[in-house]
């Protein structure tokens, strides 16, 4: 039998080394399997995350922050299992962001570059709500999401998706220029992307 345990962490803790949290992890058998996860992987400041694990011995949960550039904080969760100290349990990172880029490779369809994809539910969770969106594709872009649509020029911003969840299906369409139509190798970059502020 395995036991599953969970903890919620609020984000009001110390910014550098949040703390060493010692949790008793009890189980009745000596299973070699383990589960350790933190959800969601992307949050805003003050959002909570849910930590879950299965284990059969006492463990320590180490939480610390690392920084990337000026505006990205990664909150690192590491389960240290003294019972299996030689085992590497993959640490889990949560990004604390005010904005995130959604980016996909486009495909050719008739005279357009198109995308129709679900974004990663595990990474973005279901709590991130859109405030505004900027076209970062470097070309005109039709964007559809949550039953709403907008056409944006490069670097143009819109609030048409305000209040909708980041999660779900995103559809992009960008018309090819005449030169691109005649030779698709002239399409320098096949990526279509938007920058979302929460």
Partner 1 sequence: MLLMFENRSFDHMLGHLSYQGLQPLADGLKNPLAQYENLYKGGAYLPFPIQTDLQLPFDLPHEFNEVKIQLARSSVNGKLNMDGFVEAYAMKTGQQPNPESEPMGFFTDKDVPVTSFLAREFCTCDRWFSSVPSSTQPNRSMAFCGEIPVHQTKLQGLSANGNIFKWMNDHKITWRVYHDGFSFFTLYPKLWRYVLGPKFRNYKHLYSDMLNNDVPQVILVEPSYHGIGPGQPNDNHAPLAIGWGEDFLRKTYQAAIVNPEVWKELLMVVYYDEHGGFYDHVPPPACKSTTTEEVPFNFDSLGVRIPGILISPWVRPGSVCNELFDHTSVLQFLAEKFTPGIPYSPDLEARANQSPKISSISVALSDQQNLADAPQPDSAPILVRSVLGDTTCTPPTEGIPLSFELSARDLMARFPEKVRVKYPELFRWRDELDLARKRTGQV
CA dihedral 50, 56, 59, 61 (to 10 degrees): -20
Closer to partner 1 by Cβ: residue 161 or 170: 170
Per DSSP, 147 falls in state T
**Residue with Cβ nearer partner 1 (27 or 187):** 187
Give me the 38-77 binding string for partner 1, x by CB under 8 A, dash otherwise. Answer: ---xx-----------------------x-x---x-x---
Which range of residues in 8-16, 114-122, 127-135, 137-145 is near partner 1 by CB under 8 A? 114-122
Window 130 to 169, contacts with partner 1 (CB under 8 A): none
Decide: is 179 part of the binding site for partner 1 (CB under 8 A).
no
Residue with tokens 């879950």: 52
Q: Which stretches does DSSP call E strand in the chain?
A: 4-9, 19-23, 35-39, 42-43, 49-54, 59-68, 72-80, 92-96, 99-105, 107-109, 112-118, 132-135, 141-145, 148-152, 157-158, 169-175, 191-197
Residue ranges binding partner 1 (CB under 8 A)? 32, 37, 41-42, 66, 68, 72, 74, 85-93, 95, 100-108, 113, 117-120, 122-124, 170, 184-188, 190-191, 193
């Amino acid at each position: 039998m395995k036991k599953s345990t969970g903890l919620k962490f609020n984000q009001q803790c110390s910014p550098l080394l949040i703390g060493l949290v010692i949790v008793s992890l009890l189980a009745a058998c000596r299973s070699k399997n383990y589960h350790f996860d933190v959800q969601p992987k992307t949050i805003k400041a003050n959002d909570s995350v849910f930590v879950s694990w299965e284990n059969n011995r006492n463990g320590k949960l180490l939480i610390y922050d690392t920084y990337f550039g000026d505006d990205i904080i990664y909150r690192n969760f590491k389960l240290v299992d003294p019972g299996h100290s030689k085992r590497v349990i993959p640490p889990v990172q949560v990004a604390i962001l005010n904005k995130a880029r959604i980016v996909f490779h486009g495909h050719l369809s008739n005279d357009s570059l198109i995308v129709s994809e679900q974004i990663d539910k595990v990474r973005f969770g279901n709590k991130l709500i859109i405030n505004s969106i900027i076209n970062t594709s470097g070309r005109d872009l039709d964007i559809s999401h949550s039953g709403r649509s907008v056409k944006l020029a490069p670097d143009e911003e819109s609030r048409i998706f305000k209040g909708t969840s980041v999660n779900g299906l995103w559809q992009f369409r960008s018309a090819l220029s005449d030169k691109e139509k005649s030779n698709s190798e002239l399409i320098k970059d096949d990526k279509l992307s938007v920058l979302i502020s929460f």
